[in-house]
Structure 1
Amino acid sequence: MRSVWAIGVGGAAALVWGEWLNRRWSRTLVGNGEGGSEAVVVLGYRNPHPPINIVNRWRVRAGLRSVDSDGAAGTQVIFSGGSTGSGPAEAQLMADYAKSVLKFDGRVLIEDRSRTTWENIAQVIPLLEGADRIKIASQPAHGLKARAYLRRQRPDLAERLVPAQDYRPGEWAVLKPLLALYGLWTLRGIKAEERKRSL
């Protein structure tokens, strides 16, 4: 009985830890932002062949729910990701899903040459110049990594970063401890002070 109780407590602690860490990552290196125009960058994830995979479908939904309802007319959604196999680029798969399945009718731009997160950011920078607010939608750890890369490449644009809606309490709850562990591994190249800096 005691072991069952310990397992239950340990499981609950892991869920709380996963929620806390993912929430923290989603709110790191962002500010409040001002201005009427915004860019929402949706980063692709390993999609070598159609159809669009579950991770990219979720990222598209997170990106679209990040569009401010009161500023939709001044928003551009940028799908970023090249081809990782013989199929179409991740960006194209995500854009098609947003339009045909989710019925998004806003302004869409496609960046289809990048193959890494660093390249994602480097390639979308010219598309971000006119945006007053910049949101990066992905899993929280990956979004933080991308924001740190934008700070390294263009600190002036990084000043415009605001939170995306890529974290919701309870969403993917059972997987969040695993996502947190994976996130810690993917963020190993981001210095601790970079992860803690706030705009």
Structure 2
Amino acid sequence: MLERTGLAAAAAVAVLVWGEWWNWRRSRAVVETGEGVSEAVVVLGYRNPRPTANFVNRWRVRAGLRSVRDGRGQDTRVIFSGGADGDDVSEARLMAGYARSVLGFDGHVLIEDTSRTTWENVTNVLPLLEDVDRIKFVSQPAHAFKARAYLRRRRPDLAGKLVPAHDYRPGEWLLLKPLLALHGMVALRGLEPAERKLPLRPGRRRS
């Protein structure tokens, strides 16, 4: 009995460690070290058929704001991207409202509220990324990785500006990370085979 309990505990720990590792690796994939002072933090929305930001979008906003360089937002634009589900308020506007009214963020905010897919997110924010030195996509690690891969496909000339966001923290969402990893593995099937194998570059972590 004790042996079975020990094996079950070891298996559970192994699953949690795998989930942590998998998400960490995706958070560090397709990024550079990033130089320069100006940056864009692109927070990708999650479907939100409610009049207020849901749990996932609230977390993404917090992850986006903690990704702002030095925490001050100087030379930084935070872009909330996501359209509406039917006649509902857009994901982008709900997230921006949460950032402003609840979290008290007073930095430079831009809204892209027409996108319905990750590809559209990336395509529609491109005009807002042309003149910055650093680009951060914020979401769950697999989703942000997918956005970076799409940017690299859509505009390879901007790929060198991609840097890590702070959307991964050790232990955060610990019990859900294995499920997020499995969901991410399915979602990433939409990428080209070569894109799924893009290099993982740890680089230097910057704020």
Q: TM-score range by the shorter chain?
A: over 0.9
Map residues 21-60 of structure 1 onto 2, 5 A cutoff: 21-60=22-61
TM-score by length of 2: 0.93
Tell me which moved more, 91-100 or 4-13: 4-13
Map residues 97-116 of structure 1 onto 2, 5 A cutoff: 97-116=98-117
Is the 8 Å Cα contact of residues 25 and 200 (structure 2) preserved in structure 1? no
Counterpart of 1:142? 143
Counterpart of 2:199? 197
Identity %: 64
Is the 8 Å Cα contact of residues 65 and 71 (structure 2) preserved in structure 1? no
| Aligned residue type for 1:63 | G
Counterpart of 2:205? none
- Is the counterpart of residue 20 in structure 1 residue 21 in structure 2? yes
CA distance in 2 between counterparts of 1:16 and 1:50 reads 36
Relative to 1, partners in 2 of residues 1:188 and 1:152: Cα closer, same or farther, differing over 3 Å? same
| Cα offsets for 1:161-196 (capped at 9, x unmatched) | 000000000000000001010010101122443233
CA distance in 2 between counterparts of 1:115 and 1:180 reads 23
Is the 8 Å Cα contact of residues 49 and 86 (structure 1) preserved in structure 2? no
The RMSD of aligned alpha carbons is 1.3
Is the 8 Å Cα contact of residues 37 and 71 (structure 1) preserved in structure 2? no
Counterpart of 1:125? 126
SS of residue in 2 equivalent to 1:159? helix
List alignment gaps of at least 5 residues for structure 2: 202-207
Is the 8 Å Cα contact of residues 23 and 177 (structure 2) preserved in structure 1? yes
Provide the aligned length of Structure 1 versus Structure 2.
Answer: 199
| Aligned residue type for 2:165 | A
SS of residue in 1 equivalent to 2:161? coil
Report the CA distance between 1:70 and its aligned residue.
6.9
| Aligned residue type for 1:163 | P
SS of residue in 1 equivalent to 2:40? strand
| Cα offsets for 1:12-33 (capped at 9, x unmatched) | 0000000000000000000011
